[in-house]
Structure 1
């Protein structure tokens, strides 16, 4: 993967400051730089436009930027900083400005909070977070607010802690290679396991319990006949085949595989309770649209920890 910058999108809210801390630690783990970006408030944008239009030398060149000042102050007292820290004030709407910056210089990821200053407090995912996750040109990590982050509470750690697995939602025939590569690179940087979760449908039956905990099966267990459900074993074999190139590229990353009955989004949401990060693809790779897939949308809405939504970054995918 590219060793580009980690972008932290901030607006001064507590949600975005949690995302900033997550991004700081991510940049340290990946040994790359950190770009802190925020969209100027409308008053500042109007002032900048007025000064430019009037060409008035009596007007001060600088305008108030309380968000930028606050973030600089926080990072000045951080215990450790990435090798490079840059700040950028953006103009325009939040989704449009972040979409533009996500396409510049091949950033490693863009990190933002699940909600900003605006909107209804009851919403789990703000409109700006949803819009950026849907349209950004790079992977977008959405960090939940504190009362929704079960993994941080369980570990007693801050946002961005390395505890827990990286959970990868995989459809063996459809998930783009970029999604797999992102999950494995993140697990390698954290020194943790990739848990691969795929879901399959079963006809309803009197003894089927969808909400039961799923079993994790090591690849070597697939060699024998086993007693697994045929659909489960076939899915595990498809997983193994699809994961082979990533295993070769990341030989030190442990892999757990799980094929489970039921709704894939529900299974990933449940796995997010103890995961360091859940990684999903943005949409069906053969549908080039700005619509986020139903699984990614549901996981973003309900996950209990950070979620990475990864677009197909190349057009020459062979599935």
Structure 2
């Protein structure tokens, strides 16, 4: 049995929802997603364009003249034009930050309750599903990060749905809490997907590996019990959220990607591993970011 412990608070700052824009179609979708997120939270929205200009090595007649004034940016002009005259906008600011996207966009999460960006900006290859900036933010930002991918394959179910990837053996209360809170804000059902390795194989006296239905059932029952214990405190906190729990054998990433086809949002935790060359996200989180449909939220664990 799991020791009873107080439910950890989700790492939410009393700051704005922040969305990074770069003039691409992907960032347009991210802006719309962020507008909805800010309204649901009654939070201000901060729209930021991180721009980087190559500085000329020497003055000359053929060197372009760069206007660094924040109000002279075409990306900012496009955002203001898109929002002009729209009703029900949250309190918002539109600004430019000078720097590099891979370094400075993750830093925007330091004072944000949520950081939103598109899956791929203007500079990426068209065949890539997720750009380097999205990976950097999901890996490094201090707050939850939502990567928005427009996808025509999404199908709407009878009720809005948020999908939570639950690791029964290594759960993060922060991730569970974020998923419940998001489902409550959206009036959505919460579909909890908990995967375990399967089918379970046993070694026989004849030297063969065979499927053991008994062992598989025992593993499923154990994971079901763990998942129930982990979800119970949050179900008490959010009694109006309808929870659909699925404990299934197989690959967690594959199950979550399949579930994402009918989800408004897929929520996963950020399990990081330290490597000689830096930090790497867990394989499931990385795979979901690369292949899931629609929007994916990556929730960092609270510092302990």
| TM-score (norm. length: structure 1) | 0.78
Offset at residue 186 of structure 1 (A): 0.5
Does residue 78 (structure 1) correspond to residue 100 (structure 2)? The answer is no
Tell me how far apart the structure 1 counterparts of residues 140 and 85 of structure 2 sit (CA, whole Å).
34
In the alignment, which residue of structure 2 is the partner of 1:299? Answer: 288
CA RMSD of aligned residues (A): 2.6
Tell me how far apart the structure 2 counterparts of residues 149 and 190 of structure 1 sit (CA, whole Å).
21
Does residue 249 (structure 1) correspond to residue 237 (structure 2)? The answer is yes
Tell me how far apart the structure 1 counterparts of residues 231 and 279 of structure 2 sit (CA, whole Å).
27
Tell me how far apart the structure 2 counterparts of residues 77 and 111 of structure 1 sit (CA, whole Å).
23
Offset at residue 100 of structure 1 (A): 1.6
What does residue range 154-193 of structure 1 map to in structure 2 within 5 Å? Answer: 154-155=155-156, 164-193=160-189
Structure 2 SS opposite 1:137 = coil
Offset at residue 149 of structure 1 (A): 4.5
- Residues 20, 47 of structure 2: 8 Å contact kept: yes
In the alignment, which residue of structure 2 is the partner of 1:68? Answer: 76
Question: Residue 86 and residue 302 in structure 1: after superposition, are their counterparts in 2 closer, same or farther (change >3 A)?
Answer: same
- Residues 105, 133 of structure 2: 8 Å contact kept: no
- Residues 124, 301 of structure 1: 8 Å contact kept: yes
Offset at residue 64 of structure 1 (A): 2.5
Residue deviations 1:105-153 (CA, integer Å, cap 9, x gap):
xx221111110001210011111111111111111101113xx3532xx
Q: Would you tell me which structure has more strand in proportion to its own residues?
A: 2
Tell me how far apart the structure 2 counterparts of residues 75 and 89 of structure 1 sit (CA, whole Å).
17
In the alignment, which residue of structure 1 is the partner of 2:124? Answer: 119
Question: Residue 61 and residue 236 in structure 1: after superposition, are their counterparts in 2 closer, same or farther (change >3 A)?
Answer: closer
- Return 5+ residue gaps in structure 1 as ranges: 51-58, 157-161, 209-227
Question: Residue 13 and residue 163 in structure 1: after superposition, are their counterparts in 2 closer, same or farther (change >3 A)?
Answer: farther
- Return 5+ residue gaps in structure 2 as ranges: 1-9, 60-66, 202-208
In the alignment, which residue of structure 1 is the partner of 2:104? Answer: 97
